[in-house]
């Protein structure tokens, strides 16, 4: 598996300058409140996927045998091609099915596409990103942020996109 320094550097820059920076859009929290600690504590595996040279399954298997807690894969999209916002959800569902087929049900996939129409943070992603993390860790993180104003300033469209029940979100004036 190859991960050129430039790709890794762009992902780390995205994590530090976008995902880890507190934002009013996220109730004063960073868009991804837990990723900086994972990166700093070397619990986040970074990888690059060129589907013409390797497959995602190989990277997932390598990750599952490691001590990393989550995986962030930058997938190369062939020149002149792109994945639409609609395809993001389909791709994510396929990877989750593959995880189940591989008897890795404890993991969950979340994809970030610069072509997603909702969420500036997603649109700033330097690549099509595939995040694979333990479902229990994601669920615990979700429970923690549900006790904050994290979703309060998001558009209803984005809240629904994130599969959060809008009835459970306290809306703030002007959002």
The pLDDT assigned to 4 comes to 45
Whether 52 is in a domain gets the answer: yes
Structural domain count of the chain: 1
Mean pLDDT, to the nearest integer, of 3-12? 73
Mean pLDDT, to the nearest integer, of 26-34? 91
The pLDDT assigned to 174 comes to 55
pLDDT 10s digits, 101-130 = 989 999 999 999 998 888 788 889 999 999
Whether 16 is in a domain gets the answer: yes
The pLDDT assigned to 2 comes to 47
Rounded distance between C-alpha atoms, residue 145 and residue 67, angstroms: 26
For residues 109, 94, 46, 136, the Cα torsion angle rounded to the nearest 10 degrees is 20
Whether 173 is in a domain gets the answer: no
pLDDT band at 173 (very low <50, low <70, confident <90, very high): low
Average pLDDT, the chain: 87
Residue 172 clears pLDDT 80, i.e. is over it: no
Whether 74 is in a domain gets the answer: yes
The residue segments making up the domain with residue 49 are 5-168
Whether 153 is in a domain gets the answer: yes
pLDDT band at 40 (very low <50, low <70, confident <90, very high): very high
Mean pLDDT, to the nearest integer, of 89-102? 92
A 10 A CB-CB count for 26 gives 21
Residue 92 clears pLDDT 80, i.e. is over it: yes
Whether 145 is in a domain gets the answer: yes
A 10 A CB-CB count for 147 gives 7
Mean pLDDT, to the nearest integer, of 32-49? 92
Rounded distance between C-alpha atoms, residue 4 and residue 152, angstroms: 38
CB 18 within 8 A of CB 124: yes
Whether 174 is in a domain gets the answer: no
Whether 175 is in a domain gets the answer: no
Task: Return the higher-pLDDT residue of 116 and 97.
Answer: 97
């Amino acid at each position: 598996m190859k991960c050129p320094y430039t790709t890794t550097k762009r992902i780390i820059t995205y994590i530090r300058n976008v995902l880890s920076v507190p934002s009013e859009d996220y109730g004063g929290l960073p868009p991804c409140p837990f990723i900086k600690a994972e990166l700093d504590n070397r619990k986040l595996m970074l990888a690059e996927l060129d589907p013409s040279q390797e497959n995602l399954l190989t990277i997932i298997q390598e990750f599952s045998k490691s001590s990393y807690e989550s995986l962030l894969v930058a997938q190369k999209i062939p020149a002149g091609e792109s994945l639409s916002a609609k395809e993001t959800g389909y791709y994510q569902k396929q990877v989750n099915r593959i995880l189940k087929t591989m008897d890795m049900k404890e993991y969950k996939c979340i994809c970030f596409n610069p072509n997603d129409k909702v969420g500036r943070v997603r649109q700033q992603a330097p690549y099509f990103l595939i995040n694979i993390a333990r479902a229990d860790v994601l669920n615990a993180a979700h429970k923690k942020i549900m006790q904050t104003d994290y979703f309060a300033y998001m558009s209803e469209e984005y809240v629904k996109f994130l599969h959060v029940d809008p009835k459970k979100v306290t809306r703030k004036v002007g959002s």
